[in-house]
Amino acid sequence: MRLRDHVVVVTGASSGIGRATAEAFARKGCAVVLAARREEALEATAQECGKHRGARTLVVPTDTTDVGAVEELAARAVREFGRIDVWVNNAAVNAFGRFEDVPIEDFRKVLDVNVMGYVYGARAALPVMRAQGRGTLINISSVAGAVAQPYSHPYSMSKHAVQGLGSSLRQQLRVEGVKGIHVCTVMPATIDTPHFEQAANFTGRRVLAMPPVYSPERVAHAVVDLVRHPRREVVVGPAGKALVRQARRSPAVAERAMARQTDKTHLSHDEAAPATHGALHVPASGEGAVHGGWGGRRRTALRRTATVALVGAGVAAAGRRIGRTA
């Protein structure tokens, strides 16, 4: 399928995966509608997108927890470009902390953005796609949607919900006999974005990107490829694929491996961190950035392969420990 002149809406387009995805579609000659809370950052994204084949852009500052704002986002896309071919639900936030320590208002905010924001996006996009007879809805989930993490309860809950949303929507479209609309879910492993620095944190420890770390461009490539070749679910990153496979074969082993890895490498044992609401309630300042400085762009295929082997060895060891204690 040729993507040139497709109309693509991307939420969370001010930084990270969203910005990388918007730029990837712009390079294909698509018209890109950019949504997030930070207008300055969206303008920076639009400027980058405009460098590729003179891609058309539309900046729509949007709080995805506001259903009216999301409906207006869809309406503006249609008024400007006449249709919506692709809608990417990507805007997401995170809050780290022991279950009892994360403030309820922060817990609720994560669920509002990561779950209800996707619901609002789907409800705004699908009627347009139904009227057109075609379209692709892509929800950015996470490997945490298959294997939950400790110290990240609301985020893990939200990403499990995104998996369920995609599955239920596909089933509804199937029983209704709708053939031209696709619903796809993307499950990235750890990605090199500003996400971790912007998260709320009540652990007392600095949040780190849990290795191995992959580039946001890798996720963007997967998203673009889904428009050409729609699939139910796609995991991005070899380590993530290995973990998801393990979770489907032996959930208890995968849970134990994830718990150990999170405590060992996701939260620093050397750097303390003050309690912070991060960018949950007030957007981060600045123009936004694709990368977070975690080295995702520099990892070679060889290093990724070695890391997957180490992860597999850790999972196997966890399985042996469980077997001894069973």
Identify the CATH number of the domain in which residue 124 sits. 3.40.50.720
CA distance 304 to 76: 42
The reply to whether 21 falls in a domain is: yes
Measured distance between the N- and C-terminal CA atoms of the chain, rounded to whole angstroms: 52
Q: Which domain holds residue 236?
A: 7-325
118 is catalytic: no
326: pLDDT strictly greater than 80 = no
Inter-CA distances, 231 with 62, 86, 114, Å: 28, 14, 21
Query: Which residues, including other chains, have CB under 8 Å from residue 113's CB and lie 6 or more apart?
Result: 64, 65, 91, 92, 93, 158
- What is the mean predicted confidence (pLDDT) over 15-23? 98
So what's the pLDDT on residue 318?
46
Q: Active-site residue among 118, 120, 151, 155?
A: 155
The reply to whether 2 falls in a domain is: no
Reading the block at residue 40, the tokens are: 């300055």
Q: 87: closest CA among 42, 34, 51, 40?
A: 34
> Do 15 and 193 touch, CB atoms closer than 8 A?
yes
Inter-CA distances, 224 with 3, 73, 116, 269, Å: 9, 21, 24, 38
In the chain, count H helices and then E strands. Answer: 11, 11
Predicted TM-score (pTM) of the model is: 0.91
So what's the pLDDT on residue 306?
38
The reply to whether 1 falls in a domain is: no
CA distance 112 to 243: 27
So what's the pLDDT on residue 286?
80
Q: How many domains does the chain have?
A: 1
pLDDT tens digits for 203-231?
999 999 999 999 999 999 999 999 999 99
Per-residue pLDDT band at 287 (split at 50, 70, 90): confident
The reply to whether 176 falls in a domain is: yes
DSSP state letters, 53-110: TT--EEEEE--TT-HHHHHHHHHHHHHHHS--SEEEE-----EES-TTTS-HHHHHHH
The more confidently predicted of residues 313 and 133 is 133
